[in-house]
Amino acid sequence: MKGLDEQTSEGGSRPSAPPPSSELSPERLPTRARTISGQRHFLPPELMSIVVPSLQVGAGIGTVGLFAGAAAGIVRSAPPILFSIATAGQWFVLGSSYYASRLVALKALGGEKELPPADKVKASAMAGGFAGMIGGLIRGPRNIIPGTIVFTLFGAGGQAIANSFASKGVPLESKKSILHSKWSPVTPLTDREYEKMLEEKLLRVEAEIALVDDHMKELREAESHAEEQISNSESTSKPAPRT
């Protein structure tokens, strides 16, 4: 140890300590550390906000397609497993592609909350056309144009219907039901009116039961009176005994 100290004192200063980790540049980091830090930011947040919800929506629609395909396979007397897998895959692609393209279109136009209804219809129409094109590519090149047109109309029509419902914004209490129409054969009743109607029906039933009881009582009295008359007539018709 003494010789080592003498060598360090004679040979020069001791080696300096490594700089803190905060001063290390990415180039100086080990290869594994650079790989881990790069994996944390594999996708930018803007892209993740589109990919993750789209995959979730596609998974939900694909699950529905799984059961629908199995039912279609059973109806067509075909292997239900193959039908369910194929239908689930197609529905997953359609749902995820539609939702992703709609989110992209809405963000490009300024955001869903700040868009007028007409721009929302445009975004949904473009998303429907893109999803229809993807579905046409899966089913064959001949189905690209018809699929694009049909899904564009579906997207625009569905968004227009959603806009009409959202624009009304009327509370349920003030909405006039079709039952209140004068052409309706059914009249809506409140709870109190329904209770009153049941009470009236109960009174009618009790009155009818009382009438039936009275009628049965009269029949019993008539039957007993008839039996008395028969017994009296039999007693009078018998001959007197001889002495």
Per-residue model confidence (pLDDT) at position 212 = 92
Segments of the chain scoring below 50 in pLDDT: 1-27, 29-39, 170-175
Torsion of CA 124, 125, 127, 129, to 10 degrees: 160
Per-residue model confidence (pLDDT) at position 186 = 67
Q: What is the pLDDT of residues 32-55, one digit of tens each?
A: 444 444 445 566 777 787 888 888
Residues in contact with 112: Cβ distance below 8 Å, sequence separation at least 6, in sequence order? 106, 120
Query: Which letter, b or e, does each residue of 191-205 get, where b requires 16 or more Cβ atoms within 10 Å of its Cβ?
Result: eeeeeeeeeeeeeee
C-alpha to C-alpha distance for 157 and 161, rounded to whole angstroms: 6
Contact 102, 54 (CB under 8 A): no
In sequence order, what DSSP letters do the residues of 138-200 get, joined into one string? Answer: HH-GGGHHHHHHHHHHHHHHHHHHHHHHHHH---GGGS--GGGSTT-S-----HHHHHHHHHH
C-alpha to C-alpha distance for 67 and 82, rounded to whole angstroms: 12
Contact 91, 52 (CB under 8 A): no
Q: What is the pLDDT of residues 158-203, one digit of tens each?
A: 888 988 887 775 444 444 556 566 666 667 778 888 888 889 999 9
First to last CA, the chain: 164
C-alpha to C-alpha distance for 218 and 237, rounded to whole angstroms: 28
C-alpha to C-alpha distance for 104 and 116, rounded to whole angstroms: 16
Q: Considering the entire predicted model, what is its pTM?
A: 0.50
SS3 66: helix
